[in-house]
Structure 1
Amino acid sequence: MTSNGPAHKGQVGEPGHGGHFAHARHDDTDVLLAFAEQDKWGTVNIDVGSRTPWGEAQNADHIAPGIVIVDAAGHGGVKLSPERNAAIPTPLRNRSGWYEEDSERFIVEAIHPDAYTKVRWGTGQTRTAEDIRTSALEHLRDRYPDQYEKVTGETILPGQSYERDEQLWKQAHENDFVYAGSATAETEPDHVILTGRVAATGETAEFLVPRSEYKTVSDPRKFVVDPTKHRQLPPKQDEDAPQGPTLTTYDLSGLASARLTSAARSALEKDLRQRWRDADGNVRTLREIIERDGVTERTIVQDGGKRGYGLSQGSSFLRVSAATWKALDMIPDGRSESSKAYEKVSSLDARIEKAAFHDRQALRDKRAAAYETYSALRQSELEDERPKWAAAEEQKKAAQAARERAATIRR
């Protein structure tokens, strides 16, 4: 529960008529009043172990008839009986009767403050219904201004509500370039590259902004670009945009004369007839995909030591049989040498898990040797790739520097 909320656990008593008021002595009049309250407000059948929107209830405090405060592993909230929930004004009411603990609980406290007067809060003290209601209404005005105005009939003034002030600020700047990200400039370290976005149109652009000016704003998210004094960078070239994997088509007519066993031929023909649905909803056979749309490469995935054979088409994995994977050898094998070596490591992991105790040490030794081979291959591949990465990074920086030098005042 939040630090400014009630210290619920173990302070209100166990569920049940007596448990609701277990922290104080009661005479017959108290008991009669308790039953009268229950007749008016009903009950909530929630206890430890019950399901809540935040997981299984680890604690359930029935603080009053029709109100239970629950804690789950990561969050918590309040559950109201149908009678209690019906008393919540419609603009603030959750049909489920559940109100989470961070903000929505103040809705319950504002409408049912009397139910909280016997709860000991974070200070260990109880509070009056008037104090509880006043504090809750202040929170509702701050965070739920539209609903607050509907319920109370009041008009919220600037400065009285954080959420309303945010709404007004966004409305005032919906046609301006407002902060949407920043980075250090390559050519002018005393400037930042600020990405601005116009909320009304979705247009984005990058601007050179003096760092000293940028730091004067307490909340960077509210920095507003002035195109008449902040230089705008030209748009990035298309070649700077990230490129997807290359798709290549292949002529499969030669497979008709390929030397295959009858079983392999049957598996191949079955796989080529298999239909797949793409991201646009189009349905094609695997043969049509390979010959008309294109694929990236052949690849193998491992799960629990078992191999899965398939073709990659961008991020899609088109599963095929081992026989088909082998027959389609005109499509390149996309695995690196290190990934092939790691398949052996994964296979040994699966064997170790299933092996008898006296066989495991020998398999662990093989696994260690296989992993050493994999590590050496991967390190070699990284060394080969680093110069390419460095060159690409330098090229990217050069292109960015050129854009910065070409930055101009927007006219």
Structure 2
Amino acid sequence: MNPAPSVAATYGRTADGDLAALVDDTAYAAIPGPRGLRIANAWRLSKPMSEWRRDDFHGAIAMVADAVGFHDHIAELVQHREELLRLDRKRCGGRRSTPWGQSQSNEIYADGVVFHSTASHGGFKLDRARNAKMPAALRVAGGWYEEDAEWSKVAAGFPHLFTAYERRHAEKTLRDYYPNCWEAIHGRFLKPGESVENDRRLFHQKHRQDWVVVSAIHSKDHPDMTDCIARLGGRRDHGHERRFLVPSREYVVGRFGFVIDEVRHKEV
């Protein structure tokens, strides 16, 4: 019996004093910010960890609160790499027409489950037999599942083809973008705060008769005020507009918009 594949992480500090880790050929740095530590990554850095600089890194794959969160995240990535080795996905050549253009590379997860990458986008193609086995609430007609959000439906339909790390992100993506699908397969309603899209829907239901800001600039005539254009329910596509002045110290846009208080906010 072949031994289980093993992946190790090496930890240290960068030249800037940031926490750092190396997993295979990917480098990670925990860069301090106003909301905690931003985990950035880089590929195949040739110099020692003690010489890594913040300029060597890019992006933000995660935000964590502290050093413990950084170590936990790296441990999860190590587990993810080990599970990927056991899954033994296969890359193959061949070009195929996809909804996002001609494929440039393909990765076979299982018979009938192939991920296609194009120059601009990508996604999964499930053949007819595999797509028929998808839960009805998740199934996309034609079997094409784009990579930004619909991939989560494939992970929910065939969880054994994905790592624990991927399944965790798929579960959150499904909740955030397809709350109705999530509720259908889990048999319960989502609570406020559990889904971005569901919370957006609840916000607009609650404020459909309120004036919600759709655009705002600092007022030229009133330095301490923000000049706001609002529409009923925040609908941008149609409807009457009204203009209000809001004290700039109060104008803090929430997740889905700023609601005008007609008693306190002066209409222009």
Structure-1-length-normalised TM-score? 0.41
SS at match of 2:230: strand
Q: Distance in 2 between matches of 1:94 and 1:208?
A: 46
Post-superposition offset of 1:224? 0.8
Aligned residues of 1:59 and 1:72 also touching (Cα < 8 A): yes
In the alignment, which residue of structure 1 is the partner of 2:248? 211
Aligned residues of 1:179 and 1:196 also touching (Cα < 8 A): yes
Post-superposition offset of 1:196? 0.7
Q: How does 1:49-88 map to 2 (within 5 A)?
A: 49-88=95-134
Post-superposition offset of 1:141? 1.8
Q: Structure 1 residues 14 and 204 mapped into 2: Cα distance closer, same or farther (>3 Å)? A: closer
* Rg comparison, structure with higher value: 1
In the alignment, which residue of structure 2 is the partner of 1:225? 260
Post-superposition offset of 1:202? 2.3
Post-superposition offset of 1:218? 4.8
Q: Distance in 2 between matches of 1:13 and 1:91?
A: 29
SS at match of 1:222: coil
Alignment-mate amino acid for residue 202 of structure 2: L
Q: Distance in 2 between matches of 1:102 and 1:78?
A: 11
Structure with the bigger percentage of strand = 2
In the alignment, which residue of structure 1 is the partner of 2:137? 91
Structure-2-length-normalised TM-score? 0.62
Q: Distance in 2 between matches of 1:108 and 1:143?
A: 14
Q: Structure 1 residues 175 and 193 mapped into 2: Cα distance closer, same or farther (>3 Å)? A: same
Aligned residues of 1:110 and 1:134 also touching (Cα < 8 A): no
Matched, 1:13 2:50: no
Structure 1: which 5+ residue stretches go unaligned? 16-46, 117-126, 234-411
Once the two structures are superposed, what CA deviation does each residue of 1:229-255 show, in whole Å capped at 9, x if it has no partner?
21112xxxxxxxxxxxxxxxxxxxxxx
Report the identity percentage. Answer: 35
Q: Distance in 2 between matches of 1:70 and 1:3?
A: 22
Post-superposition offset of 1:132? 4.8
Structure 2: which 5+ residue stretches go unaligned? 1-59, 63-76
Aligned-residue Cα RMSD (Å) equals 2.7
Higher relative contact order (CA 8 A, sep 6+): 1
Q: Distance in 2 between matches of 1:12 and 1:105?
A: 16
Q: Distance in 1 between matches of 2:220 and 2:114?
A: 58
Aligned residues of 2:152 and 2:171 also touching (Cα < 8 A): yes
Structure with the bigger percentage of helix = 1
Q: Distance in 2 between matches of 1:169 and 1:14?
A: 44
Post-superposition offset of 1:71? 0.7
Alignment-mate amino acid for residue 113 of structure 1: P
Aligned residues of 1:177 and 1:225 also touching (Cα < 8 A): yes
Post-superposition offset of 1:55? 0.9
Alignment-mate amino acid for residue 149 of structure 1: E
SS at match of 1:156: coil
SS at match of 1:103: coil
Once the two structures are superposed, what CA deviation does each residue of 1:49-102 show, in whole Å capped at 9, x if it has no partner?
211111111101112111101110011111001111112222221111010111
Q: Structure 1 residues 3 and 230 mapped into 2: Cα distance closer, same or farther (>3 Å)? A: closer
- What number of residue pairs does the alignment pair up? 185
In the alignment, which residue of structure 2 is the partner of 1:141? 175
Aligned residues of 1:176 and 1:224 also touching (Cα < 8 A): yes
Aligned residues of 1:70 and 1:76 also touching (Cα < 8 A): yes
Which residue, 221, 224, 248 being the options, matches 1:190?
Answer: 224
Q: Distance in 2 between matches of 1:65 and 1:210?
A: 60
Aligned residues of 1:180 and 1:196 also touching (Cα < 8 A): yes
Once the two structures are superposed, what CA deviation does each residue of 1:249-281 show, in whole Å capped at 9, x if it has no partner?
xxxxxxxxxxxxxxxxxxxxxxxxxxxxxxxxx
Q: Structure 1 residues 69 and 95 mapped into 2: Cα distance closer, same or farther (>3 Å)? A: same
Post-superposition offset of 1:13? 3.0
Once the two structures are superposed, what CA deviation does each residue of 1:161-184 show, in whole Å capped at 9, x if it has no partner?
121111111111111110111123
Post-superposition offset of 1:133? 4.2
Q: Distance in 2 between matches of 1:57 and 1:135?
A: 25
